[in-house]
RNA sequence: CGGGGCAUAGCUCAGCUUGGUAGAGCGCUCGCUUUGGGAGCGAGAGGUCGUCAGUUCAAAUCUGGCUGCCCCGACCA
């Protein structure tokens, strides 16, 4: 064709290209979720259809969490999604917090209901009702239960995975005989979330405590893991609440202790949702699309066979399936992209968009040389591509996947740290929270916190559990402070 | 709940100003040629133009209402 060499390919390449993150981060996110085939919009405003690829990612998240929960003695159970309105009203803070976002069922079986029923926004009240019946004696404690379900909160402004009317999550609910045990459990589950985020998702998080204003409605204490997204904004990625005796009192969860005295239980709850999928997208994604951590990726390796002639095809496909089996036997999640109607180049781009950690190309030359090409998703272009021997390939791949996992965590951690600034005055604070986190000494009141939010849109994401110790000067009030806080703009 | 935008083929959109037989690209189906970074040619399938009403001989096009979705702000995992 008579056009300059580059222009044709540039046009072709731009055709289906994502908008770059720097151009419009929001648009990048929205279109990526759709194009990577993770999810789609539901027919009711603000609802989400999770497609098989997105659900597979969620299933891997579920599996990683579930085995950690069970290792601490937690059992799964199923609870009703319908809650009597009166239950919500039993805990004053709780109803106040959730009232504005409740979905209420007024009709059933063609009849108007005598009492409206609430679709669970979370199950603390239903759990309270059940536990009150289950607990009689200190011998019945602790109760350690987790629910995998979905909940409904009538959000005004929604965004796929991050905030939808209905979302999928787990909610753990425990009841204990002592305050110390409840406190221990609250921290233990935060540790579980931290370990999961860092070691499975390669998402560096800051474990910390929420301020009184950001606390869960009805909790004495809310712990959180906070992550920094690619645009410098914060995402609350999992929470663990110490509910004290608030719900035990509201629902009469009582037991007889060893002295035959009636005591209220101490309860906790903790949750992590499909929002975490959003955290993975925005922590690791780049201008070419998703970058999934190998430990959670639905496919860890995608194989793209390449051939021209029929005789090549037979040889290539034979080798492809042999290697597929070999990798699969080694516990690697492999996908062979044997679609006939698409060119290898298209497949490369497609799987990059979908974030598969490692691409394995195999063509006639490889069959001849006993080699394959491996291209790692986290290192784009030629740099990330290498030809390796087919001998010991399972080992090579396993090592490479581990390396990718580690490199992704290192990269995300570096980004987070480079965009976290220790500041001591308001001007520097404003600069810091416009691009990332500000770490400050804080001694302000609720009113001060509100004012900072109004003036800068930044909120206290958490008081990190890891504190430097000693004392500092509050950047806002100038008062002596004993705790440092992380501020940031949040999703 | 306020402000803005959009609604025409599976997707992205043109057509509307100035009313007159429904369009393009991509995708899809079939065939042939292709395949190491988003393939080419040929032949097809596919739309009561969001909805209701009004104006008119005639409405995708003009007018009004309604509905839905997306984006931006206040509230939230």
Protein-contacted bases of chain B (C-beta within 7 A)? 1, 26, 28-29, 34-39, 68-77
Q: Which residue is nearest to nucleotide B34 (CA to C1')?
A: A308
In chain A (491 residues long), the average pLDDT of successive 10-residue segments reads: 26 56 86 90 84 96 98 98 93 88 87 90 96 98 97 89 92 98 98 98 97 93 96 95 97 97 98 96 95 98 93 93 98 96 94 97 96 97 95 98 98 97 95 94 94 92 96 96 96 90
C1' (B54) to CA (A176) span, angstroms: 69
Phi-psi region of A273 (alpha: psi -120 to 50; beta: other; left: phi over 0): beta
C1' (B42) to CA (A343) span, angstroms: 20
Calculate Rg over the CA atoms of chain A. Answer: 26
C1' (B26) to CA (A462) span, angstroms: 47
C1' (B56) to CA (A42) span, angstroms: 40
C1' (B54) to CA (A107) span, angstroms: 38
Nucleotide whose C1' lies closest to the alpha carbon of residue A274:
B77
Nucleotide whose C1' lies closest to the alpha carbon of residue A340:
B35
Do A93 and A217 meet the contact criterion of CB atoms below 8 Å apart? yes
Nucleotide whose C1' lies closest to the alpha carbon of residue A344:
B35
Nucleotide whose C1' lies closest to the alpha carbon of residue A14:
B38
Nucleotide whose C1' lies closest to the alpha carbon of residue A366:
B36
- Residues 6 or more apart in contact with residue A240 via CB below 8 angstroms: A186, A187, A189, A190, A193, A222, A223, A224, A268, A269, A270
pLDDT of residue A14: 42
Do A171 and A123 meet the contact criterion of CB atoms below 8 Å apart? yes
Do A218 and A97 meet the contact criterion of CB atoms below 8 Å apart? yes
Nucleotide whose C1' lies closest to the alpha carbon of residue A339:
B35
Residue in this structure with the two tokens 């990683």, named with its chain if needed: A64
C1' (B62) to CA (A158) span, angstroms: 36
- Residues 6 or more apart in contact with residue A446 via CB below 8 angstroms: A211, A212, A213
C1' (B59) to CA (A171) span, angstroms: 55
Tokens linked to A159: 């965004």
Nucleotide whose C1' lies closest to the alpha carbon of residue A237:
B77
Helix intervals (H) in A295-392: 310-329, 344-353, 364-369
Nucleotide whose C1' lies closest to the alpha carbon of residue A159:
B70
C1' (B20) to CA (A40) span, angstroms: 41
- Taking the C-alpha atoms of residue A267 and residue A247, their distance in angstroms, rounded to an integer, is 7
Q: What ipTM was predicted for this assembly?
A: 0.89
H-helix or E-strand containing A409?
Answer: helix A393-418
- Taking the C-alpha atoms of residue A8 and residue A1, their distance in angstroms, rounded to an integer, is 9
C1' (B54) to CA (A44) span, angstroms: 31
pLDDT of residue A16: 61
pLDDT (tens digit per residue) in A257-275: 999 999 999 999 999 999 9
A431 preceded by a cis bond (ω within 30 of 0):
no
Nucleotide whose C1' lies closest to the alpha carbon of residue A25:
B71
Phi-psi region of A260 (alpha: psi -120 to 50; beta: other; left: phi over 0): left
C1' (B43) to CA (A12) span, angstroms: 24
Tokens linked to A358: 């490692």
Query: What pTM does this model have?
Result: 0.95
Phi-psi region of A156 (alpha: psi -120 to 50; beta: other; left: phi over 0): alpha
Nucleotide whose C1' lies closest to the alpha carbon of residue A163:
B77
C1' (B10) to CA (A350) span, angstroms: 19
- Taking the C-alpha atoms of residue A305 and residue A98, their distance in angstroms, rounded to an integer, is 53
Question: How far out from the chain centre does Cα A490 lie?
Answer: 14
C1' (B16) to CA (A25) span, angstroms: 33
- Taking the C-alpha atoms of residue A458 and residue A433, their distance in angstroms, rounded to an integer, is 7
pLDDT of residue A5: 25
């Amino acid at each position: 064709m008579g056009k300059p060499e580059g222009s044709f390919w540039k046009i072709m390449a731009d055709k289906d290209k994502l908008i770059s993150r720097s151009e419009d981060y929001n648009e990048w996110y929205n279109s990526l979720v759709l194009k990577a085939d993770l999810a789609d919009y539901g027919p009711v405003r603000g609802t989400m259809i999770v497609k098989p690829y997105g659900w597979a990612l969620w299933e891997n998240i579920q599996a990683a969490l579930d085995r950690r929960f069970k290792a601490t003695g937690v059992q799964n159970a199923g609870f009703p999604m319908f809650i009597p309105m009166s239950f919500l009203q039993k805990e004053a803070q709780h109803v106040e917090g959730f009232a504005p976002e409740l979905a209420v069922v007024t009709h059933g079986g063609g009849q108007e209901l005598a009492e409206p029923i609430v679709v669970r926004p979370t199950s603390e009240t239903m759990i309270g009702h059940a536990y009150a019946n289950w607990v009689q004696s200190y011998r019945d404690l602790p109760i350690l239960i987790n629910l995998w379900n979905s909940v409904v909160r009538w959000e005004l402004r929604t965004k796929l995975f991050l905030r939808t009317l209905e979302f999928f999550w787990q909610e753990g609910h425990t009841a204990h005989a002592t305050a110390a045990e409840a406190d221990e459990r609250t921290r233990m589950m935060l540790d579980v979330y931290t370990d999961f985020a860092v070691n499975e998702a390669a998402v560096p998080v800051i474990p910390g405590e929420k301020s009184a204003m950001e606390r869960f409605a009805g909790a004495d204490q809310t712990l959180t893991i906070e992550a920094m997204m690619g645009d410098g904004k914060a995402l609350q990625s999992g929470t663990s609440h110490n509910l004290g005796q608030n719900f035990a009192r509201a629902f009469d969860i009582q037991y007889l202790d060893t002295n035959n005295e009636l005591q209220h239980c101490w309860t906790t709850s903790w949750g992590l949702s499909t929002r975490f999928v959003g955290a993975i997208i925005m922590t690791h994604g780049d201008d070419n699309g998703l970058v999934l951590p190998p430990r959670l990726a639905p496919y860890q390796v995608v194989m793209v066979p390449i051939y021209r002639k029929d005789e090549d095809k037979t040889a290539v496909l034979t080798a492809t399936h042999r290697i597929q089996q070999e990798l699969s036997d080694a516990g690697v999640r492999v996908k062979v992209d044997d679609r006939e109607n698409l060119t290898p180049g298209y497949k490369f781009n497609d799987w990059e968009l979908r974030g598969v950690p490692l691409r394995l190309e195999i063509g006639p030359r490889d069959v001849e040389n006993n080699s394959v090409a491996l291209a790692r998703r986290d290192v784009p272009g030629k740099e990330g591509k290498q030809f390796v021997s087919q001998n010991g390939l399972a080992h090579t791949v396993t090592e490479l996947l581990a390396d990718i996992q580690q490199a992704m965590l290192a990269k995300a951690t570096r980004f987070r740290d480079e965009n976290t600034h220790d500041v001591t005055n308001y001007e520097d604070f404003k600069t810091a929270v416009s691009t990332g986190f500000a770490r400050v000494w804080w001694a302000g009141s609720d009113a001060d916190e509100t004012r900072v939010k109004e003036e800068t849109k930044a909120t206290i994401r958490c008081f990190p559990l890891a504190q430097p110790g000693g004392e500092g000067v509050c950047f806002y009030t100038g008062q002596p402070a004993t705790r440092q806080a992380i501020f940031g703009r949040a999703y």
